[in-house]
Every structure is written in structure tokens, then in C-alpha cells.
Structure 1
Amino acid sequence: MVQTFKSRKDPLFIAIIVGVISLMMILTVSDIYLNGPTKESGIVFLIDLAISLLLIWIFFKTRYTLSTKELRYFCGPLKGVILIEDIKEIQKNTTKWIGYKPATARKGLVIRYNKYDEVYISPDDNDTFIKELLKLKANIKIT
């Protein structure tokens, strides 16, 4: 049995993605308008397009799956696996600004596993995610 949880979409994250994509495209198009199309502007346009597609991929394809043995996370091209038995603690309704964050919202979950490892995720509903995880391993500390 595998359960899939979508990542919550935070207005701040949406604003950042829309802002970055818009700014890159405005600057590129205005450069082409002012200076005419050049080889350099074409390269910059392709780089902007690649970054935009990466951000859109992250926005629409960030999700988490729980199976009986592992938690998998997918965030665009970033993927990872955490064994359920290695999870020690979950800090809920917190925001982590640095570190590894396959997430698209604030007020998510910091999952601590192994001895010193942690990952920040933002499932659609923190409480439901924790409830399902506790069914798989009851002795996880929740803070």
C-alpha cells in the first residue's frame, strides 16, 4: 500500500516563482527589443526558459509517498528516500529557511532521521501525514 501526499502551495512560493519567471522574461525580451536579436540574447533566452521550466516542474511535481518501509520525496529533479525505521522525530508547523527543502510552502514538517540528518517537507495536511506515519512507526517523537 502506497499513499501519495501532494505538497501544499504557499502564496509566498507562488509569488517567488511568478516573480522570478516574469523578471527573467521581461529583462530578456527588453534586451532583445532594445538591442535586437543577438546570439547572446538567444542563449540568455534559452537559459531563462530552462530555469522557468525547472521552477514549474518543482511547483507542480513536488509530492511525498509513504509505503510500509519508506518515505519518498519528489521535488522536480530532486528525489530521496528515508526509511521509516530511521525516523526519530518530526517537528511540525515550522519553517526551515536553510538546508534541504523539497517543499513548496512554509509551516511544514522537519523530519529528523538517522543520527543527524533532517529534511523539510510541506505535505498538504501536516496532521494527516503525521497520523499516517505514526501508523507505520508509533514511537516517533512529535514536537
Structure 2
Amino acid sequence: MNFKSRKDPLFLSALLVLIFLFILIGVFSDSGKETGWYWYVLGITPTSILFLWFFFGTSYSLTSSFLNYKSGPLKGSIPLENIREIIKNKTLWVGLKPATARKGLIIKYNAYDEIYISPQDNEEFIKSILSYKADIKII
């Protein structure tokens, strides 16, 4: 099963503000004179593309044995047998966050590892993961 990441207005506005600030800095700085703007464009373009890749390229998939996540260049998988707890409607502010919204799911796995994801519908995702592994504790 595939799940898209929910898009939060806060994440979108932060993304747009950063890109807008990059453009303003380029327009009003001295690097815009003569040939200096080439170097500025070479710096801002990959950064902006990376931010947009995170925004549009975040998704999750469930198989019978793995939870796979993809967020821009970040990719990984977690064996379902290692997942022990899911905390719903909370936000993890530090750590591994392949997510584009607040109030998602904190998934605890192994002994001390955790990951934060933000599927389109938290309840639907929880139902799907419980259909593969029913002994996950939901908080």
C-alpha cells in the first residue's frame, strides 16, 4: 500500500519564504554585478530543487514485511517485526523526519530508534499497519 505525505501550510510557507529570501539576497547583494550572479544562481538552484524534492517527493509504502519511506534523497525501510509502538497526532521536532506536516505519527522501533512520518490519513495508515502486525501498541 502506498501513502502520500500530508502537506502542511507551515512547511509550504517556510519553503516559499526560504526560496524568496534566496532570491532577494541575490537581487540586492553585490554578487549580482557583472558575472557574480552566475555563481549565486549555481548556489541557489540546487538548494531550491532539494527543498522542492523534499516537498513533492515524500511518500511511504507498506508491504507485508517492511515500512518503506522516501523523502527527497532520503530513503529507507523498517522491518515491521521491529516496530513496537506508534504515537499518533504528535510532532517529533528532532531526529529522522521524512515528513511534510505536523501532527503525524511517531513510530518507535528496535530498542531506542524512532522515525516521524506524516501520512495523508493517520487512521488509515494505522489500520493498514495493524493488518500486517496486530501487536503494535498505539498511543
Normalising by the smaller structure, the TM-score range is: over 0.9
CA distance in 2, matches of 1:71, 1:61: 16
> 2:51 aligned with 1:91, yes or no?
no
Q: CA deviation at 1:43?
A: 1.8
Measured after TM superposition, the shift of residue 35 of structure 1 is 5.1
Q: 1:29 aligns with which of 27, 30, 39?
A: 27
Q: Give the TM-score taking structure 2 as reference length.
A: 0.95
Q: TM-score, normalised by structure 1?
A: 0.93
Which residue identity is paired with 1:86?
N
Count of residues paired in the alignment: 139
Partner of 2:3: 5
- CA deviation vs aligned residue, 1:74-98 (integer Å, no higher than 9, x gap): 0000011000111000000001111
Query: Residues 58, 119 of structure 1: CA spacing in aligned structure 2 closer, same or farther, 3 A cutoff?
Result: same
Output the CA distance in 2 between the equivalents of 1:100 and 1:46.
28
Higher mean displacement: 80-89 or 21-30: 21-30
* Corresponding position: 1:138 with 2:138: no
1:48-102 deviation digits (Å, cap 9, x = unpaired): 1110000001100100000011000000000110001110000000011111100
Which residue matches 2:110?
A: 114
Say which SS state the counterpart of residue 90 (structure 1) adopts. Answer: strand
| Structure 2 unmatched ranges of 5 or more | none
Q: Once the two structures are superposed, what CA deviation does each residue of 1:27-61 show, in whole Å capped at 9, x if it has no partner?
A: 112226x851334x322221111100000011001
Structure 1 segments (4+ residues) deviating >6 Å: none
* Residue of structure 2 in register with 1:38 after alignment: 35
